Amino acid sequence: MPIAIGLEGSANKLGVGVILHSPPPTSSPASPPSPHDSAHSDDESAFAQSKSNPPPVQILANLRHTFVSPPGTGFLPKDTAAHHRRWIVRLVKQAMKQARVQVEDIDCVCYTKGPGMGAPLGSVAIAARMLNQLWDKPLIGVNHCVGHIEMGRTITGAENPVVLYVSGGNTQVIAYSAQRYRIFGEALDIAVGNCLDRFARVLNISNDPAPGYNIEQLAKNGKVLLELPYAVKGMDVSFSGILARVEELAHRLEKEGSSWTDPATGAPISKEDLCFTLQETVFAMLVEITERAMAHVGANQVLIVGGVGCNERLQQMMGMMASERNGSVYATDERFCIDNGIMIAHAGLLAWEMGFHTKLEDSTFTQRFRTDEVLIDWRD
Amino acid sequence: MAASEFPCSLVVDVPLLDHRLASTAMRALQVDAELSPLVRRTFSLVGREDSAGDEEENSTILRTEYSATTNRMLRVAVNGFMESLGVVLQVMEELDVDVLESKS
Residues in chain B with CB shorter than 8 Å from the CB of A93 are 94-95
Can you give the pLDDT at residue B58?
A: 86
B103 pLDDT tier (thresholds 50, 70, 90): confident
Per-residue tens of pLDDT for chain A, all 380 residues: 999 999 999 999 999 999 999 986 654 444 444 444 343 333 332 333 344 555 689 999 999 999 999 999 999 999 999 999 999 999 999 999 999 999 999 999 999 999 999 999 999 999 999 999 999 999 999 999 999 999 999 999 998 999 999 999 999 999 999 999 999 999 999 999 999 999 999 999 999 999 999 999 999 999 999 999 999 999 999 999 999 999 999 999 999 999 999 999 999 999 999 999 999 999 999 999 999 999 999 999 999 999 999 999 999 999 999 999 999 999 999 999 999 999 999 999 999 999 999 999 999 999 999 999 999 999 99
Can you give the pLDDT at residue A26?
A: 57
Render pLDDT for B53-102 as a digit per residue (tens, 0 to 9): 667 788 999 999 999 999 999 999 999 999 999 999 999 999 999 999 88
| Burial degree of A362 (CB within 10 A; 0-12, 13-18, 19+) | exposed
Can you give the pLDDT at residue A261?
A: 95
Q: Is A181 left (phi over 0), alpha (psi -120 to 50) or beta?
A: beta
Instruction: State how far Cα A260 lies from the chain centre.
Output: 38
Instruction: Map residue B38 onto helix, strand or coil.
Output: coil
Please give, rounded to a whole number of angstroms, the shortest distance from the CA of B35 to a CA of chain A. 11
B24 pLDDT tier (thresholds 50, 70, 90): very high
- Pick the closest to residue A62 from A254, A312, A346, A277 (CA basis): A346
Can you give the pLDDT at residue A151?
A: 97
The DSSP result for A38-54, as a single string, is HHS-HHHH-----TTSP
Residues in chain A with CB shorter than 8 Å from the CB of B34 are none
Q: How far is CA A298 from CA A53, A100, B21, in A?
A: 20, 44, 55
For strands A162-166 and A301-305, give the pairing: parallel
Closest chain B residue to A134, measured at CA = B96
Which of B24, B32, B87, B90 is best to mutate for the A interface (most A CBs within 10 A)? B87
Please give, rounded to a whole number of angstroms, the shortest distance from the CA of B91 to a CA of chain A. 6
Neighbours of A182 (CB within 10 A): 15
From the list B24, B32, B104, which residue is nearest A130 (CB)? B24
Residue A120: HSE in the Cβ half-sphere, 13 Å Cα cutoff: 25
- Contact A360/B at CB under 8 A: yes
Q: Cβ–Cβ of A89/B27 closer than 8 Å?
A: no
Please give, rounded to a whole number of angstroms, the shortest distance from the CA of B80 to a CA of chain A. 10
Which of A78, A130, A139, A359 is best to mutate for the B interface (most B CBs within 10 A)? A130
Is the preceding peptide bond at A54 cis, omega within 30 degrees of 0?
no
- Pick the closest to residue A198 from A242, A144, A148 (CA basis): A242
Can you give the pLDDT at residue A177?
A: 96
Residues in chain B with CB shorter than 8 Å from the CB of A133 are 24, 27-28
Can you give the pLDDT at residue B2?
A: 58
Instruction: Map residue A169 onto helix, strand or coil.
Output: coil
Instruction: State how far Cα A147 lies from the chain centre.
Output: 8
Identify the residue with better confidence: A282 or B103. A282
Q: Using CA atoms, how far apart are residues A136 and A263, in angstroms rounded to an integer? A: 68
Can you give the pLDDT at residue A288?
A: 98
Residues in chain A with CB shorter than 8 Å from the CB of B31 are 125, 129, 360-361, 363-364
The DSSP result for A226-243, as a single string, is ------EETTEE--HHHH
DSSP secondary structure code for residue A106 in this structure: -
List b or e across A7-25, with b for residues whose CB sees 16 or more CB atoms inside 10 angstroms. Answer: bbbbbbbbbbbbbbbeeee
Can you give the pLDDT at residue A42?
A: 37
Can you give the pLDDT at residue A47?
A: 32
Please give, rounded to a whole number of angstroms, the shortest distance from the CA of A80 to a CA of chain B. 13
Q: Cβ–Cβ of A96/B100 closer than 8 Å?
A: yes
Identify the residue with better confidence: B51 or A31. B51
Residue A136: what residue type? D
CB pairs under 8 A between A and B: 68
Element (H, E) at B21: helix B19-29
Which of B19, B91, B96, B101 is best to mutate for the A interface (most A CBs within 10 A)? B91
Residue A320: what residue type? M
